[in-house]
Structure 1
Amino acid sequence: MENRSLGGVLLIAGTSIGAGMLAMPLVCAALGFTTTVVLLVALWCLTTYSALLLVEVQQYAEPDTGLTTLAARYLGRRGYWITQTALLWLLYSLTAAYLTAGGKQLAAQLSQALSWRLAPQQGTLLLTLVTACLVSGGARLVDTSNRLLFSLKMVVLLLMLLLIAPCVQSSHLLATPQHPQALLAAIPVLLTAFGFHATLPSVLHYLEGTVRQWRYVVLAGSAIPLLAYLAWQWAIQGLLDQQYFLAVLADLPDLPGLMQALQNSGVPSHIGSTVRLFAALALSTSLLGVTLGLFDHWLEQFQSSTSRYSRLQAGLCTFLPPLAFALVYPQGFMLALGYAAIALAILALLLPAALVWKIRQQAEPAPYRVVGGRWALFLVLLCGIVIILLQLAIRTGCLPTMTH
C-alpha cells in the first residue's frame, strides 16, 4: 500500500473514531447487541455511500475545492449559506459536547487527585484554557500533540478490549430492545460517529491519486471505525447487564453514568481505569481536531494568520460560544451531540446527494459514477430528512430520550 493511501485511510479513520464513540453505550443501552449491530452496519452503508457520492463530485472540481465552494458552484448562494451554516453548526456543537464531557471528566479526576471538590464548570474552564493555548500555537503544535494522543488512544483501545473480553457474558448480549422508540432515538447520535465527510475533500486532495484509489481509501477508512465500534459495543454490552445499566443511566445520565456502571459492575478496577483513560484521550483528540478547524476558519475570515489581534479574535470566536453552552448546560454532552447530528445530516447526506443530482443534470458523465441512479439519491435525501426530523422530535419531547 502506498504511503499516501495509508495516510488517507488513517485520516478518515482518525476523524471518525473520537468522542462520539463514548456516546454509543449510552444510546444503545436500551437496544441490545443484535439491534445495535444492525443499526451500525446500516448507518455505515448509508454514510459510506454518501462519501462515494462526494468522490464522484470531486472529479468535476479542482483538487483543493471544499464543500462550501462546491455548494456555491452547483447549488447557488442559498446552497452556499446552508452549507456554511451547517459546517459552523457542526463544529460548534461538537466543541460544546467535548468541552462539556471533557470538563466534567477533568474535574472528577482532579477532585480525586487533589482531595478537594471541583465543579464541572471549573473543569470546563481549565480544559478550554489548555485547548485554546494549544490551538492558538498553530497547526504544527496541534498536529504533534494529536499524533501522540491518537497513537496512545489506539493502544489504550486495544488494551481495553483485551481486558474486558474475559469478563463478557454471552447472556448480556442476548438482551432485546426495551421499546421501539429507542431505535429511532439512537439514530441521530450514532450518525455522528461516521462523520468524516467535511474533511473528505482535503483527504482526496492529499492523495493526488486516481478515482480507484479514492474509492479504496473511503471504503477502507470508513470500515476501520465500523469494526472498532462493533468491538466496543460487544465489550460494553457484554460486560454490563442491560437492566442494571439503564437503571444507572436513569439516575446518572451521560458519561458519568457509564463510568459509574463500570465501577459498580464488579469488574477489576484496572478495567474502569483503562476506560476512563480511553475516554480522556478520545475527548482530547476530538476536541483538538474540531477546534483547530474552527480556529482556522475564523482566521480565514479575518484574513490574517500572523496578526496577534486576528488570532485573539479567532480564539474568542472559536471558544466563547461553546464554552457558554458548556457552563450553562454541564449535563449537555448528549444534547450537543444531538444538535451536531442535524448539521451532519445536512453535510454528509443532503449535500452530497443534492450535488450529484445537480451535476448529473448539467455535466457530461465522468469516468466514475456511483451505482444506484436517481432512486438511490432520493433515498439518501430521504434518510437525511428523517434523521433531522428524529432529532427535532427528541428535542420537542415527541420521542423519548435514549434510556427512557
Structure 2
Amino acid sequence: MSEVMTASQDEQPSSLGGVFIITGTSIGAGMFSLPVLTSNMWFGWAVLFLCVSWYCMYSSALYLLEANQKFKHGVNFDSMTKALLPTSLRILNGLSVMFVSYILVYAYISGGGSMLGHSLQSGLGIELDQSVASFAFAVLLGLIVSFSTKAVDRFTSAMLGGMVITFSIAIFSLLSDANFSLLQPLAEMTERLPYSWAAIPSLMVCFGFHSNIPSLVKYYKKDSAKVVNSIRYGSLLALTIYLIWLLASFTVIGRDGFAAVIAEGGNMGALVSALESTGSGVTLAITLQLFANFAVATSFLGVALGLFDFLTDLLKLDDTLSGRSKTALVTFVPPMIGGVLFPNGFIYAIGYAGFAAAVFALFTPVALAFQARKHLPTTDFLVTGGYTRMAVVMIFSVCVVIFQVLSMMGMLA
C-alpha cells in the first residue's frame, strides 16, 4: 500500500535532488564506519541487523514527515515538539538533535580531513597535518551549506553522480580479487552475537538522515509525495550500496585484515589504505580515494544542512545574509574546533551518536505523529501500519538505548 494517500500536484523541484540528499547524508557515515564496526559480527549478522535498522529508521522518518505536514511551512523540530510534547521531552529532543548533528558534523570533518590528507599524500606527495586538512574541509563545505538548500541540492547531486561512477569502478575492481570463502564465519554464533547487539546503535546511524526531513518539507513546499519518494528511494539506495560495500570489503580485506585497520584508529584513511593494498593497479587507488572524498562530503553537507535549519528555527534567526551568517557560526565553529583538536575521532563519534539519535530519530517522530493524530487536523498524508508499526519503532528505539548503555558499561563486546 502506498505510504501517501494523496499528494499535492503543485509544480515543485524534482524528487531526484531529495533522493540524493537522503542518500548522500546516509552513506558518509555508513560507508566507511560500517565495515569496521561490523567486522567482529561478520557478514550474515551485519546484513540482518542492517535491514532491520533500515526499516525502523525509514518508518520513523515517515512519522516525522506526517507530523511536519500538519504545521506551517518552514517549521522544524523545536517548534513541533513545543506544540505537541511536554517541555521536558522538548528539551531532551533538542539536546539530542544538537548532540547527534554536532557529533556527526564533527565525525565527517574528522573523516574528511583524514581522506584529504591521505589523498594529498598518496597522489601528490604532500604531507598535510590532519588538523589543517580537517579545518580546510569544514570551511569549504560549510560555505555551501550557508548559502542555501538549493546549493546543497546541486552540489550533492553532482557529487553523487561522481560517486556512482567511482563506486562502480571500485567495486568491480575489488570483487575481481574477492575471496568469497572469507564470508564464512570463523566463530560460533554465540561468540558473534554480543558484537551484533553492540553494533546496533551504530547501524542505526547509517540511516541518520532525519534532520533533513524538515528541510525537505520546506524545500518541496509540503509536497508529501516528493518527500516520501526522497525518503524511500534515497534510503533504499543507501541500503543497497551498504550491502554491496560490505560484500566487497569482507571478501577482500578479510577478518584478520580489519584488526590492523582498527589498530590505526579505524578512520576513513586507514580503511581506504587497506583496500588499496589488496587490489592491483593505480585505478583502484584513485577511484577509492575519489569515492571516499565524494561520500564524506555529501554526508557532511546533508547533516550540516539539517543542523543549520534546526538552529535557524531554534534561535529564530531570519533567512537574510546576516541571519544565515550567524547560524553558520553557531553551526560550524564547535565541530570545527573538535576536528582540529581531536582529528581522529571518526569511529568513536559515530558510535556515541547512536545513543542520542534513538531519541530524536526514533522516539520523537513516533511521539509527534501519535500526538498529531490526536490533537491536530488530518492532512493528506498518513503513514500506514497503524499503531503496530509505531510500537515496532518504539521497541527498537528502547533496544538501541539499552545496547548502547550496556556497551558503554563494558557489558557487551
TM-score range, shorter chain: 0.7 to 0.9
After TM superposition, list the pairs within 5 Å mapping 1:151-162 onto structure 2: 151-162=161-172
Contact 2:57 2:207 in 1 (8 A): yes
Of 95-104 and 43-52, deviating more is: 43-52
After TM superposition, list the pairs within 5 Å mapping 1:169-184 onto structure 2: 169-175=179-185, 179-184=192-197
Residue 259, structure 1, aligned to residue 272, structure 2: yes
Q: Quick one: structure 1 residues 288 and 218, their matched pair in 2 at CA, closer, same or farther if it must change by over 3 Å?
A: closer
User: What do the CA deviations read for 1:7-54 (whole angstroms, capped 9, x no partner)?
Assistant: 444443333333432111111211222221111111111112222333
Q: What is the deviation of 1:328?
A: 3.0
Residue 71 of structure 1 aligns with which residue? 81
**C-alpha distance in structure 2 between counterparts of 1:361 and 1:26, whole Å:** 43
User: What do the CA deviations read for 1:101-122 (whole angstroms, capped 9, x no partner)?
Assistant: 1112222333345545332222
**C-alpha distance in structure 2 between counterparts of 1:359 and 1:297, whole Å:** 20
Contact 1:32 1:176 in 2 (8 A): no
Identity of aligned residues (%): 29
Q: Quick one: structure 1 residues 196 and 165, their matched pair in 2 at CA, closer, same or farther if it must change by over 3 Å?
A: same
**C-alpha distance in structure 2 between counterparts of 1:222 and 1:82, whole Å:** 26
**C-alpha distance in structure 1 between counterparts of 2:140 and 2:46, whole Å:** 36
Q: What is the deviation of 1:312?
A: 5.2
Q: Quick one: structure 1 residues 48 and 270, their matched pair in 2 at CA, closer, same or farther if it must change by over 3 Å?
A: same
Residue 63 of structure 2 aligns with which residue? 53
Q: What is the deviation of 1:134?
A: 4.1
Residue 26, structure 1, aligned to residue 44, structure 2: no
Residue 351 of structure 1 aligns with which residue? 364
Residue 86, structure 1, aligned to residue 96, structure 2: yes
Residue 197, structure 1, aligned to residue 210, structure 2: yes
**C-alpha distance in structure 2 between counterparts of 1:214 and 1:133, whole Å:** 25
Of 294-303 and 168-177, deviating more is: 294-303
**C-alpha distance in structure 1 between counterparts of 2:383 and 2:142, whole Å:** 41
Q: What is the deviation of 1:176?
A: 5.1
Q: Among 244, 253, 260, which residue is 1:231 paired with? A: 244
Q: What is the deviation of 1:217?
A: 5.0
Which residue identity is paired with 2:348? L
**C-alpha distance in structure 2 between counterparts of 1:366 and 1:311, whole Å:** 31
**C-alpha distance in structure 2 between counterparts of 1:311 and 1:216, whole Å:** 29
Q: Quick one: structure 1 residues 392 and 256, their matched pair in 2 at CA, closer, same or farther if it must change by over 3 Å?
A: farther
After TM superposition, list the pairs within 5 Å mapping 1:4-403 onto structure 2: 4-58=14-68, 60-113=70-123, 115=125, 117-139=127-149, 141-175=151-185, 179-204=192-217, 206-207=219-220, 218-298=231-311, 301=315, 303-306=317-320, 313-362=326-375, 370-400=383-413
Q: What is the deviation of 1:266?
A: 4.8
Q: What is the deviation of 1:347?
A: 1.8
Q: Quick one: structure 1 residues 319 and 201, their matched pair in 2 at CA, closer, same or farther if it must change by over 3 Å?
A: closer
Q: What is the deviation of 1:276?
A: 1.9
Contact 2:174 2:279 in 1 (8 A): no
Contact 1:150 1:285 in 2 (8 A): yes
Q: What is the deviation of 1:252?
A: 4.7
Q: What secondary structure sits across from 2:41 in the alignment? A: coil
Q: Quick one: structure 1 residues 242 and 358, their matched pair in 2 at CA, closer, same or farther if it must change by over 3 Å?
A: same
User: What do the CA deviations read for 1:61-104 (whole angstroms, capped 9, x no partner)?
Assistant: 44544332221211133333233222222221111101111112
Of 27-36 and 253-262, deviating more is: 253-262
Q: What is the deviation of 1:355?
A: 1.9
**C-alpha distance in structure 1 between counterparts of 2:224 and 2:132, whole Å:** 49
Q: Quick one: structure 1 residues 39 and 214, their matched pair in 2 at CA, closer, same or farther if it must change by over 3 Å?
A: same
Q: Quick one: structure 1 residues 306 and 49, their matched pair in 2 at CA, closer, same or farther if it must change by over 3 Å?
A: closer
Of 285-294 and 161-170, deviating more is: 285-294
Q: What is the deviation of 1:332?
A: 0.6
Contact 2:194 2:412 in 1 (8 A): yes
Stretches of structure 1 lacking an aligned partner (at least 5 in a row): none
Q: What secondary structure sits across from 1:179 in the alignment? A: helix
Q: What is the deviation of 1:149?
A: 2.0
**C-alpha distance in structure 1 between counterparts of 2:342 and 2:97, whole Å:** 22
Contact 1:8 1:206 in 2 (8 A): no
Q: What is the deviation of 1:136?
A: 4.5
Q: Quick one: structure 1 residues 218 and 138, their matched pair in 2 at CA, closer, same or farther if it must change by over 3 Å?
A: closer
